[in-house]
Amino acid sequence: MLRLSEQSFGTLRMLFERESGIRLRDEKRTLVVSRLQARLEQRGMRSMEDYCALLLRPAEQEERQRMVDALTTHETYFFREPRHFEHLAQQALPALTQRPLRIWSAASSTGEEVYSLAMTLAETLGPAGWELLGSDISTRVLDVAQRGLYVLNRLECMPRMFLQKYCRRGFGQYEGQLLINSSLRARTRFLRHNLLDASNPLGSFDVIFLRNVLIYFDPERRRYIVRNMISRLNPGGFIYFGSSESVSGSTEGLESVASSVFRRPMQRMKP
């Protein structure tokens, strides 16, 4: 096991927070070493001190991104928290009449949430009239999402009809995997985005899924991110948070419509 000195951990913590907005806690030291081991080997580094010196070089932005990729957590699966997708299909989509609808999965990880949304939208609205964006800070998981190729053990919550209609089972070298069908993949777009970056010209959205990511930020940054999301939500639009996340004090201007689901009120016409 590599040795991680206090100084090196401080450097990694500073760089990771600068790149991601997430502060590494002291108890993450062992995880940091285990997840960065491969990067040191690939770059021919023998110590964390050498790797930190490499990361500090201005020209090593790509390596800093790889460090972020290695240290971020991306636990997800299809139709996680199924009641949110039920609410979207049964309550939110019928209430949103403008077209095209713009939907954003703002912490899309490896793409299971995006494709769960795409299946829900295709089944409820048909193949047209909606646009779907997935974003994440990790380029590694975005590459996985764009391929749309997954192992079969992530399917516990996927309705069987959706599995048969929108997925293809792999054979041969792809045994034990599934591929999201090409027509559904063509309706989605993925890009790298830092949730703390309010300047990115993403436009506004009718539905935003911001789930299971706020827990990694401190309270001040959580409030900043939620306020930014609200500013991008169209009047009448819906925003979904993870059920285990606290957004109290951050949802001013929104109406609670279900557990972890809020709506931005429609603008009233001036008399």
Residue matched to tokens 């399917």: 155
Q: Which residues pair with 104 in a beta bridge?
A: 133, 208
> Do residues 235 and 253 make contact, with C-beta atoms less than 8 angstroms apart?
no
Question: The domain 6-71: what is its CATH number?
Answer: 1.10.155.10
**For 101-107, what is the mean pLDDT?**
97
What is the location of CATH 1.10.155.10 in the chain? 6-71
- For the segment 130-143, the average pLDDT, to the nearest whole number, is 95
pTM beyond 0.95, yes or no: no
Name the CA dihedral angle for 198, 199, 201, 202, rounded to a multiple of 10 degrees. Answer: -20
Of 126-140, 149-163, 176-190, 233-247, the one with minimum mean pLDDT is 149-163
- State pLDDT tens for residues 66-81: 999 999 877 789 999 9
CB 103 within 8 A of CB 134: no
pLDDT-derived band at 83, boundaries 50, 70, 90: very high
What number of residues does the chain have?
A: 271
Average pLDDT over residues 105-123: 96
Chain centre distance of CA 171 = 29
**Which residues, including other chains, have CB under 8 Å from residue 109's CB and lie 6 or more apart?**
74, 75, 76, 136, 138, 141, 145
Residue 253 — pLDDT band, cuts 50, 70, 90? confident
Taking the domain 82-263, which CATH number applies? 3.40.50.150
Residue 2 region by backbone torsions, left for phi larger than 0, else alpha for psi between -120 and 50, else beta: beta
Average pLDDT over residues 76-92: 95
Asked which of 126-130, 172-176, 178-182, 234-238 is least confident by mean pLDDT, the reply is 172-176
Active site positions, annotated: 35, 136
Tokens read off for 108? 């899309």
More confident residue, 25 or 57: 57
Q: What is the pLDDT of residue 270?
A: 43
Does residue 147 register a pLDDT over 60?
yes
Task: Write the pLDDT tens digit of every residue in 3-43.
Answer: 899 999 999 999 999 999 998 989 889 989 999 999 999 99
* pLDDT for the residue 184: 95
pLDDT for the residue numbered 268: 53
52 pLDDT above the threshold of 80? yes
Q: Where in the chain is the domain with CATH 3.40.50.150?
A: 82-263
| pLDDT tens per residue, range 221-234 | 999 999 999 999 99
DSSP SS3 for 255 = strand
Identity of residue 234? N
Rounded Cα distance between 20 and 22, Å, is 5
